[in-house]
């Protein structure tokens, strides 16, 4: 972590905490006083609720081995979320305290973690707690902000320069799908802006998990938006979608070979900077 | 019949229509278990490798 930005953490934390008095970290703009224990859409107050940490080699190759630290609480409701059970009642999670997480960060780095991957849930709704953690732990490995990118500019300002890689999920390419599957109708507009903001100061990897039969509505327009950012951003395509049971609004099947091939061809045609 | 809703701490392993075995949001213990199984199973081709089949997080 750049020492100059590390030293700015207390000041940035103060700004975030002021915001938490009437929370407007994300487009939900709940306005609740999280410092007083109130919770809004994401369900978290001003504390960190870490439900899992692990060393993992299944992320993009350049990020591995990665120390994954999962924080509960999310501002989206993706029907296919594979960790939804941890985000339903974040305050009930009896996880590690901050000192224990900090200790794990150092231990995992000693074990070879080249990145510290902050994920969730959604790190943006936990931005204040995460900054406090970074101040205490001062990690030596590269920091990855693994986010749905559905947040307000105040979060970008808080993490600017502290984070080495923004791993940005690009989930949907149209308003209808974002509303139906994730209860976030304005997702595409918000995320287009936050990814562009991040690309101005960080290494950005846009990760698009392809949804079965959502090529025309999501993959195609989503990738076209990313192409506008040019070679500044890398793109990682995932074809491992697993449907929830039951699947209501989200696809019930799996990505087939034809869609797989079509997506790759389209990404190549757009001259995207694809990574594995 | 209502589908079972995964609870905190549950493991979910699924066999896909094409025969692949996948784990949903595996934790370290589950990944270690999968590696152990893989090491004990003769591999005939790359399609059966576990490394292609786990999902860290799908959100």
- Among A22-36, A84-98, A118-132, B23-37, the minimum mean pLDDT is found in B23-37
pLDDT in tens, A22-37: 999 999 999 999 999 9
Give the model's confidence band at A210: pLDDT under 50 very low, under 70 low, under 90 confident, else very high.
very high
B17 pLDDT higher than 50: yes
A83/B5 CB distance under 8 A: no
How many domains are contained in chain A?
Answer: 1
A70/B51 CB distance under 8 A: no
A95 pLDDT higher than 60: yes
A74 pLDDT higher than 80: yes
ipTM above 0.85, yes or no: no
Q: Is B13 on the interface with A (CB under 8 A)?
A: no
Q: For position B58, what pLDDT does the model report? A: 79
- For residues A12 and A30, what is the distance between their CA atoms, to the nearest angstrom? 21
Q: Is B1 on the interface with A (CB under 8 A)?
A: no
Q: What is the CATH number of the domain that holds A133?
A: 3.20.20.70
A44 pLDDT higher than 90: yes
Mutation target for B interface from A43, A49, A55, A58: give the one with most B CBs within 10 A: A58
pLDDT in tens, A136-182: 999 999 999 999 999 999 999 999 999 999 999 999 999 999 999 99
Give the model's confidence band at A206: pLDDT under 50 very low, under 70 low, under 90 confident, else very high.
very high
A54/B3 CB distance under 8 A: no
Which own/partner contact pairs does A104-112 have at CB distance under 8 Å and 24+ positions apart? Answer: A104/A53, A104/A67, A104/A69, A105/A67, A105/A69, A105/A137, A105/A139, A106/A137, A106/A139, A108/A53, A108/A55, A108/A67, A109/A67, A109/A139, A109/A140, A109/A141, A111/A55, A111/A65, A112/A55, A112/A65
Which phi and psi (to 5°) does residue A196 adopt?
A: -65, -40
Residue A173 near residue A48, CB atoms below 8 Å: no
Q: For position A262, what pLDDT does the model report? A: 98
Give the model's confidence band at B43: pLDDT under 50 very low, under 70 low, under 90 confident, else very high.
low
A59/B56 CB distance under 8 A: yes
Give the range of the structural domain holding residue A20, as residue numbers without chain letter: 3-275
A81/B6 CB distance under 8 A: no
A41 pLDDT higher than 70: yes
Q: Which residue of B has its CA nearest to A84?
A: B59
Contacts of B7 in chain A (CB under 8 A): 85
B8/A52 CB distance under 8 A: no
Q: For position B50, what pLDDT does the model report? A: 41
A39 pLDDT higher than 90: yes
């Amino acid at each position: 972590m750049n020492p100059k930005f590390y030293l700015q953490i207390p000041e940035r934390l103060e700004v975030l905490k002021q915001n938490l008095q009437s929370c407007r970290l994300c487009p939900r703009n709940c306005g609740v006083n999280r410092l007083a224990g109130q919770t809004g859409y994401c369900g978290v107050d001003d504390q960190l609720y870490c439900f899992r940490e692990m060393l993992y080699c299944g992320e993009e190759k350049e990020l591995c081995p990665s120390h994954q630290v999962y924080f509960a609480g999310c501002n989206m409701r993706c029907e296919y979320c594979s960790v939804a059970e941890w985000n339903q009642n974040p305050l009930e999670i009896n996880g590690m305290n901050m000192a224990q997480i900090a200790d794990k960060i150092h231990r995992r780095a000693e074990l070879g973690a080249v990145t510290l991957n902050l994920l969730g849930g959604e790190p943006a709704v936990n931005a204040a707690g995460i900054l406090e953690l970074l101040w205490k732990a001062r990690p030596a490995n590269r920091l990855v902000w693994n986010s749905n990118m559905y947040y307000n500019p105040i979060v970008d300002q808080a993490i600017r320069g502290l984070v080495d890689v923004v791993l940005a999920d690009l989930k949907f390419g149209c308003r209808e799908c974002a509303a139906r599957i994730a209860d976030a109708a304005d997702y595409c507009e918000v995320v287009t802006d936050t990814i562009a903001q991040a690309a101005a100061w960080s290494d950005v990897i846009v990760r698009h998990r392809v949804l079965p039969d959502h090529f025309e509505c999501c993959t195609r327009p989503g990738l076209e938006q990313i192409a506008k950012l040019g070679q500044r951003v890398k793109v990682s395509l995932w074809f491992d979608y697993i449907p929830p049971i039951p699947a209501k609004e989200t696809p019930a099947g799996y990505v087939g070979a034809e869609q797989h091939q079509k997506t790759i061809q389209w990404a190549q045609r757009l001259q995207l900077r694809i990574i594995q | 019949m209502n589908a079972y809703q995964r609870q905190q701490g549950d493991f979910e392993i699924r066999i896909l229509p094409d025969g692949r075995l996948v784990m949903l949001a595996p934790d370290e213990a589950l990944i270690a278990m999968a590696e152990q199984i893989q090491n004990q199973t003769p591999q005939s081709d790359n399609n059966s490798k576990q490394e292609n089949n786990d999902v860290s997080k799908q959100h």
